[in-house]
């Protein structure tokens, strides 16, 4: 199968139909006796960008980990692209198009940039011309990495390592890209570079779920948001509406801005 390369605006719009790319129903999860998720429900439409917002401990990252197969739920279902993937191990999901960029720096520090990119193909069992095309697309989105292909990933700056983490995800040819804490520990200037890249990826037709603590950052990409508190949904609606909710947005996210 040919890799999905960047789509035209019209093609991306056609792909962003009303069908749900991801649905989560009645999801619950516990770490031992500590329950973290309580009857979580959400739907992500094909082609949309959804923000998962909330303070530390709200369960945002845990929800992504369960969706992407890194944790097994105690109850509930996860349906991706029409198939029930509940409990399927994480290593089997990228070949279906479900890709996670975990929080923090997720590169192999002792490998070069190009080795980091190429090793991704093992996950989806693709090589040759497919890998060449996907690598070229990833480097087109992150051109600064072209000059550092032979450089050890651990010697890159924090922002460059996050670019590499996203580039590695692009090599996997995602249908749904889940990004955990894109802006964590990075300067505002670097965050803007990453946001521009994610916006381009989304406009090319990739569905995006973005976990963030900052509503300001999430609103630059996502038109719809779910605000989580204590493992459940407190608000679901447009990011524009959330910005107007003094009880949530201004108290939690915008107080220092």
Cα angle 41, 55, 251; round to 5: 110
Instruction: Give the pLDDT band (50/70/90) at residue 153.
Output: very high
Rounded distance, CA 208 to CA 32, Å?
Answer: 30
Instruction: Give the pLDDT band (50/70/90) at residue 51.
Output: very high
Rounded distance, CA 118 to CA 112, Å?
Answer: 10
Structure tokens at 221: 């990409």
Q: Which of 3-17, 54-68, 94-108, 206-220 has the lowest mean pLDDT?
A: 3-17
Q: What is the pLDDT of residue 252?
A: 52
Cα 221 from chain centre: 12
% of the chain with per-residue pLDDT over 70: 88
pLDDT tens-digit readout, 87-110: 999 999 999 999 999 987 689 999
Q: What is the pLDDT of residue 15?
A: 43
pLDDT tens-digit readout, 10-50: 444 444 445 899 999 999 999 999 999 999 999 999 999 99
Residue 4 clears pLDDT 50, i.e. is over it: no
More confident residue, 215 or 45: 45
Instruction: Give the pLDDT band (50/70/90) at residue 9.
Output: very low
Rounded distance, CA 176 to CA 136, Å?
Answer: 20
Cα 207 from chain centre: 9
Residue 54 clears pLDDT 60, i.e. is over it: yes
CATH superfamily placement of domain 9-252: P-loop containing nucleotide triphosphate hydrolases (3.40.50.300)
In degrees and rounded to multiples of 5, residue 186 shows phi and psi of -110, 155
Strands (E), the chain: 20-31, 34-45, 49-53, 75-80, 83-84, 98-101, 176-180, 207-212, 224-229, 232-238
81: left (phi over 0), alpha (psi -120 to 50) or beta: left
Structure tokens at 225: 């948001």
Question: What strands lie across the sheet with 75-80, from one edge to the other?
Answer: 34-45, 20-31, 75-80, 83-84
Q: What is the pLDDT of residue 248?
A: 66
């Amino acid at each position: 199968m040919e890799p999905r390369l960047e789509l035209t605006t019209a093609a991306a719009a056609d792909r962003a139909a009303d069908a749900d790319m991801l649905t989560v129903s009645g999801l619950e999860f516990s770490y031992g006796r500590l329950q973290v998720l309580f009857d979580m429900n959400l739907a992500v439409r094909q082609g949309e960008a959804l923000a998962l917002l909330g303070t530390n401990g709200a369960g945002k990252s845990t929800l992504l980990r369960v969706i992407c197969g890194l944790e097994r739920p105690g109850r509930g279902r996860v349906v991706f692209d029409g198939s029930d993937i509940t409990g399927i191990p994480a290593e089997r999901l990228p070949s279906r198009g479900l890709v996670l960029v975990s929080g923090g720096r997720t590169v192999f520090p002792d490998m070069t940039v190009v080795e980091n990119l190429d090793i991704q193909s093992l996950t989806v069992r693709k090589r040759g011309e497919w890998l060449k095309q996907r690598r070229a697309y990833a480097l087109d989105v992150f051109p600064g990495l072209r000059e550092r292909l032979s450089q050890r990933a651990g010697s890159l700056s924090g922002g460059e390592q996050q670019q590499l983490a996203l580039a590695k995800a692009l090599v996997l040819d995602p249908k749904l890209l889940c990004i955990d804490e894109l802006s964590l520990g990075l300067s505002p200037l670097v965050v803007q570079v990453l946001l521009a890249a994610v916006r381009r990826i989304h406009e090319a037709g990739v569905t995006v779920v973005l976990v963030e603590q900052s509503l300001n950052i999430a609103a630059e990409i996502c038109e719809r948001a779910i605000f989580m508190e204590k493992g459940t949904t407190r608000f679901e609606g447009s990011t524009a509406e959330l910005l107007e909710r003094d009880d949530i947005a201004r108290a939690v996210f915008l107080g220092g801005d």
